[in-house]
Structure 1
Amino acid sequence: MKIGIDIGGTTTHAVLVTSDGRLLQASQHITTPDLLTGVKGAVQALFERTSICPAGVKGIFIGTTELINAIFEGRVMSRTALIRIGTQPTKIKPALTFPETLRSSLKKVWFVKSSNHYNHATLETNISDGLVSIFQQIETDAIEAISIVGTYSPMYEEEELWVKEAIKKRFPNIAITVSHRLGSIGYIERENAAILNALFSKLIRSLLAELSTCFSGLSFTCPFWLTKSDGSLMTVQEAMDFPVLTIFSGVANSLKGAVILTSYKDLLAVDIGGSKIYAGRVRNEQLREVNSSTNLAGIDTSLAMPEFISLPFGGGSIPNIKDGHVRFLPHHSNDIAIEGLSWGGSSWTVSDCFLKLFPEAFYDEKIDPVRLAGLSNSDCELVVSHVMGQLKLALDQFQESEEELPIVLVGGGSPLFGHELFGPYKQVMNPAGYPISGAIGACFAPVSEVVDKVYWLHNRSKEEILDEAVAACKKAVLKKGASPESIQISYVEEYPFAYLRGEILRVKTRATGELIL
Structure 2
Amino acid sequence: MTHERELSIGVDVGGTNTDAVVLDQDGTVLAATKQPTTADVVGGIRAGVARVLDEIDDRRHAVKRVMLGTTHATNAIVARRSLARVAVVRLGAPSGTEWPPLSDWPDDLSHHVLAGSAMLGGGHMLDGTPIMPLDRYGLLRFLDSIEGRFDAVAVTGVFSPSYPDQEREVDAIIRDHIGPDARIFLSQDIGPTGLIERENATVLNAALHRVAHDVTHALLAVVEEQGLDAVTFFAQNDGTLMSLDFAENFPVLTIGSGPANSIRGAAYLSGAQDAIVVDVGGTTSDLGVVVNGFPRESTLPREIGGVQTNFRMPDILSVGIGGGTIVDVASGRVGPGSVGYRIDREGLLFGGSIPTLTDAAALNSSPIPGRSLPTVDGRTRDALAASLAFVADRLEAAVEQLSLGRMDLPLVVVGGGGFLVPDELSIATEVIRPAHAGVANAVGAAISLAGGRAEHIADIEDREAAIEAASEAAIAKAIQAGADPLKVEVVEVLETPISYTTHPAVNVSVKAAGPLSRLGTTMPALP
Contact 2:327–2:383 (CA under 8 A) maintained in structure 1? no
In structure 2, relative to structure 1, the CA distance for the partners of 1:43 and 1:115 (3 Å cut) is closer
Separation in 1 of the partners of 2:480 and 2:139? 36
Separation in 2 of the partners of 1:130 and 1:324? 62
Q: Secondary structure at the match of 2:270?
A: coil
How far apart are residue 339 of structure 1 and its match? 5.2
Residue 406 in structure 1 maps to residue 410 in structure 2: yes
**Aligned position for 1:500:** 501
Question: Deviation per CA, 1:427-464, whole angstroms, max 9, x where unpaired?
Answer: 1122211111011111110011211123479xx95433
The one-letter code matched in structure 1 to 2:447 is F
The one-letter code matched in structure 1 to 2:438 is P
Residue 280 in structure 1 maps to residue 288 in structure 2: yes
Question: Which residues of 2 match residues 246-325 of structure 1 at below 5 A?
Answer: 246-296=254-304, 299-318=307-326, 323-325=331-333
**Aligned position for 2:99:** 92
How far apart are residue 424 of structure 1 and its match? 5.7
Question: Which residues of 2 match residues 71-110 of structure 1 at below 5 A?
Answer: 71-73=77-79, 75=81, 77-88=83-94, 90-110=97-117
Contact 1:147–1:179 (CA under 8 A) maintained in structure 2? yes
**Aligned position for 1:510:** 511
Q: Secondary structure at the match of 1:12?
A: strand
Specify which of 303, 319, 334 is matched with residue 341 of structure 2: 334
**Aligned position for 1:49:** 55
Question: Which residues of 2 match residues 24-63 of structure 1 at below 5 A?
Answer: 24-63=30-69
**Aligned position for 2:369:** 364
Question: Deviation per CA, 1:180-219, whole angstroms, max 9, x where unpaired?
Answer: 2223332222122223323333332222222221221111
Cα RMSD for the two superposed structures: 3.1
Question: Which residues of 2 match residues 460-499 of structure 1 at below 5 A?
Answer: 461-478=462-479, 480-483=481-484, 486-497=487-498, 499=500
The one-letter code matched in structure 2 to 1:92 is W
Separation in 1 of the partners of 2:252 and 2:160? 19
What's the TM-score once normalised by structure 2's chain length? 0.86
Contact 2:261–2:445 (CA under 8 A) maintained in structure 1? yes
How far apart are residue 512 of structure 1 and its match? 1.3
Residue correspondences, number? 508
Contact 2:13–2:69 (CA under 8 A) maintained in structure 1? yes
Question: Deviation per CA, 1:292-339, whole angstroms, max 9, x where unpaired?
Answer: 53444664322111212122453234566785544434x752364455
Q: Secondary structure at the match of 1:224?
A: strand
How far apart are residue 395 of structure 1 and its match? 0.7
Separation in 1 of the partners of 2:198 and 2:81? 23
Contact 1:361–1:416 (CA under 8 A) maintained in structure 2? no
The one-letter code matched in structure 2 to 1:107 is L
Contact 1:342–1:368 (CA under 8 A) maintained in structure 2? yes
In structure 2, relative to structure 1, the CA distance for the partners of 1:136 and 1:54 (3 Å cut) is farther
Specify which of 113, 134, 151 is matched with residue 158 of structure 2: 151
Identify unmatched segments of 5+ residues in structure 1: none
What's the TM-score once normalised by structure 1's chain length? 0.87
Residue 134 in structure 1 maps to residue 136 in structure 2: no
Separation in 2 of the partners of 1:102 and 1:54? 43
Question: Deviation per CA, 1:48-104, whole angstroms, max 9, x where unpaired?
Answer: 222334432111011123333445555453333322222226242443444454333
Separation in 1 of the partners of 2:329 and 2:84? 40
Residue 397 in structure 1 maps to residue 365 in structure 2: no
Separation in 2 of the partners of 1:181 and 1:319? 47
**Aligned position for 1:160:** 167
How far apart are residue 380 of structure 1 and its match? 2.9
Which deviates more from structure 2 when the two are superposed, residues 76-85 or residues 220-229?
76-85
Which deviates more from structure 2 when the two are superposed, residues 405-414 or residues 485-494?
485-494
In structure 2, relative to structure 1, the CA distance for the partners of 1:473 and 1:370 (3 Å cut) is same
How far apart are residue 277 of structure 1 and its match? 1.4
Which deviates more from structure 2 when the two are superposed, residues 281-290 or residues 123-132?
123-132
Q: Secondary structure at the match of 2:57?
A: coil
How far apart are residue 390 of structure 1 and its match? 3.0
Which deviates more from structure 2 when the two are superposed, residues 166-175 or residues 26-35?
166-175
**Aligned position for 2:70:** 64
Residue 177 in structure 1 maps to residue 185 in structure 2: yes
Identify unmatched segments of 5+ residues in structure 2: 1-6, 519-527
Residue 223 in structure 1 maps to residue 231 in structure 2: yes
Contact 1:9–1:275 (CA under 8 A) maintained in structure 2? no
Contact 1:183–1:190 (CA under 8 A) maintained in structure 2? yes
